[in-house]
Amino acid sequence: MHSILNKIIREKWVKEDSTAVFVIKDCILIQNFTGKNYTYRVVNYVTGQQKYLFYRRHKLGEDDSKRVMETIKALPFYNMKQAANGMEMIDCIFREIFPKYGFTIRQEQVDLSKHMYGSIRDGKIALSDIAVGLGKTYAYLVAALVHRIFSQKGRFHVQKPMVITTSSIELQRSIIYDYIPKISNMLMENGIIVSPITCVLRKGKENYLCEKRLKQYFNSLDSKRKRPSEYQALKKLLDNGRIDLGDVNEISGYDKRKICVHGSECMTCTQFKTCTYQRFMKQARKSHYHFQICNHNYYLADLRKRRLNQRGLLPDYQLTIVDEAHKLSDSASQIYGTILIENTIHRLMKGMVQKSNMVKETISTNQMLFDALKESIPNEAYSDETEKFPVIMSPIIKAMINKLISNLQTIQKKIGPSNRQISYEFSEALKHLRVLLVQDNIYWMENPRSKGQRTLASVPKNLSKVLGYDLWQGNHPMILTSGTLALDMDFTYTKRQLGMEGLSDWKIQELTKTSPFDFQKNCLLYINGQIAYPNMDNPTYIQEVSQEVMRLIKASNGHALVLFTSYKPLRLVYQKVREELQDYELLEMSRGKTKILNRFKESQNAVLFATGSMWEGVNIPGDRLSHLIIVKLPFPIPDPISDYERDLFPDMKEYLDEVLVPKMLIKLRQGVGRLIRSESDTGVISILDVRASDNGRYYQDVLHVLPKCRRAENVKEIQVFLKEKKEASYFE
């Protein structure tokens, strides 16, 4: 008993002046004297779980001890089948606890969780390419929690938090409102933990409501001119105390920008001490939460602040889990890059009370800058697919940027520190302008024909190196997982994108897990090798694709997602198919209008023509999506960044093999992942790109990354397959 008492004192589970009363199985009764009363608590000396029982004026007698023993025997953590280490506990959770609640035991999931736990325990970086259906979210959550329980830093609730970062709000919400509550309840009911698992969602300030701005904006509205639903939604916000604007659907994006927390206004706000947002932030920054959950942009912004010796956005943490890790490099382009929108400086100058000559000159210089940038774009760069247009940073353009910097500095000094919000906006504009003069940048223009919205953007040429420095300088373990981190079990491309080349091999642990679904039984692959070479400017190609898409839609009685790589061919094919197919609900996803996805999910057998975000992160359950039609292999669209990358390679073939083909194959895997999402799903993958056919240049590459399934030689076989797999109602 004495050795057990010493152990739990060393672990700081109890106070140093504690005494032991008795030991029963895996529990010990601890007594403390307060100077007036004796307090009693029971501690599981293996896990540290404990419960305060009672206090009394006198010490326990022998008869009292017998009654207390019966109380202890009723506790959930008494006489547990204890795990000697983390690996055993993971087995216990997945094999004994989860099945009580209807979960199926999956050996692959158990192995995955153990792999992740081992990486965390040993302080390593885990790269995990995990197919849909293996339950990776449960795997890493259990691994993280088990590590927390078995770590040597003391009790469960006093350790540093763990960070989970993802690219989608949908996954963040699932983790917070589904996965964590379920795991927490199951582990508590079985005595693994004694208090609920806690988490907090962290987002940028623009995602939260400013009560002061809301009141000012609402009072400025004319109820007769404002849309009634939006007016009532804003009025409701005044009373309900909600601050997360992501939970408010009835309010427009314009309204949200008018009422969100903004810039540096908080610094001088008279309501700072009573502000709901500030109270939330004070609570969120505390380290008592088990998990801090955010998106990749927020996480990278935190890393960047720490590198600059600034206060981080997140509290100090002991572990990072990066889900949807294939999107990290995209987020890095936003965080480490910079943009200057034409309207930014124009709006600042229009806000000046005194329209001095310098203010007028700044407005004029700003317009001339963007006119000159537009003129520098080569005519051949304009196409329907292009979103990033190359620009030439000539000496004249740089001189105009320097002129803007000089003018803004002068005007800012005249404003003085009295108006902190305006001064902050000037500082932000100056920061972006200075970055745009850095030599080692890649530059481009967006929206060159939309005056006011014309944008000059840049990213560092050595983006992967800068990202890698921030990601890997810490000593805490990291788990990076996704369904598309590896190609043919090789993580080379991902490592290059994330700046991992300088890391020692012993620091990285790699794992790939293929899908548990029976693709050979439930999925059919059809590749058409007869359509013309992909060229959206070729009318013959558009006609042949349109005709084949119609045949495929009929074969599957709709229920199809037709995926394109850009909007122009999407529109052309959609128009032709719509003219001839009147019996199906055909839906076209245009730029920025993703709500049409809900119509597709609610339909019986609609066909959705889409691109962009529909290639990944979308879950359409059941038979609504039973036919995935990929019109063209998703090679990246050329832009200034890819042009720079190409120049780093000695020839086009090496660039193709090292960069373009891996990017295409990763995107293809993401697209194909939309179809089979569960053990019961059945469907067809159709690819209409001749380059993927038997004699095509990328035939072997494509087959390697696609799931192993049966091949269809013609459209008729698709119809036969689906009639075998689907109920009669599917074809009604």
Of 365, 363, 367, residue with least CA distance to 355 = 363
CB 183 within 8 A of CB 142: yes
127 and 56 both lie in a single domain: no
**Edge-to-edge, what's the strand order for the sheet holding 38-44?**
19-24, 27-33, 38-44, 50-56
pLDDT of residue 191: 76
- Residue 133 forms part of a structural domain: yes
111 and 153 both lie in a single domain: yes
pLDDT of residue 470: 93
> Which residue reads 């839906």 in tokens?
587
* DSSP conformation letters of 496-523: HHTT-TTS-GGGEEEEEE---S-HHHHE
Q: For residue 116, what are the β-bridge partners?
A: none
pLDDT of residue 587: 94
380 and 456 both lie in a single domain: yes
- β-bridge pairing 455-460 and 441-446: antiparallel
pLDDT of residue 264: 65
Separation CA 122–CA 163 (nearest Å): 18
Number of domains in the chain: 5
* DSSP conformation letters of 252-264: -HHHHHHHB--TT
CB proximity list for 629: less than 8 A, separation 6 or greater = 549, 552, 560, 561, 562, 563, 686, 688
- Residue 469 forms part of a structural domain: no
pLDDT of residue 246: 80
- CATH code for the domain in which residue 581 is found: 3.40.50.300
155 and 65 both lie in a single domain: no
Separation CA 393–CA 389 (nearest Å): 13
User: Residue 529: which domain range?
Assistant: 519-731
12 and 32 both lie in a single domain: yes
pLDDT of residue 532: 94
- Residue 506 forms part of a structural domain: yes
487 and 627 both lie in a single domain: no
Q: For residue 389, what are the β-bridge partners?
A: 445
Tell me the two tokens of residue 163. 């960070």
102 and 46 both lie in a single domain: no
- Residue 277 forms part of a structural domain: yes
- β-bridge pairing 389-390 and 523-527: unpaired
Give the DSSP H or E segment for 434: helix 420-435
Of 232, 199, 252, 271, residue with least CA distance to 261 = 271
Give the DSSP H or E segment for 246: none
pLDDT of residue 154: 47
| Structure letter (DSSP) for residue 633 | -
561 and 412 both lie in a single domain: no
- Residue 29 forms part of a structural domain: yes
This prediction's pTM: 0.84
Nearest-Å Rg of the Cα atoms of the chain is: 30
Q: Is 459 left (phi over 0), alpha (psi -120 to 50) or beta?
A: beta
Q: What is the mean pLDDT of each run of 10 residues along the chain (732 residues)?
A: 88 91 92 94 86 93 89 85 84 93 93 96 95 93 93 57 92 94 90 86 89 86 82 83 80 84 74 83 86 96 91 92 94 92 91 84 95 89 80 92 94 77 85 88 91 93 93 91 91 93 91 91 95 93 96 96 93 94 89 73 91 84 92 92 90 92 93 90 96 94 92 95 93 85
23 and 49 both lie in a single domain: yes
Separation CA 586–CA 609 (nearest Å): 8
**Other Cβ atoms within 10 Å of 68 Cβ, number:** 19
pLDDT of residue 156: 44
- Residue 333 forms part of a structural domain: no
156 and 129 both lie in a single domain: yes
103 and 221 both lie in a single domain: no
252 and 190 both lie in a single domain: no
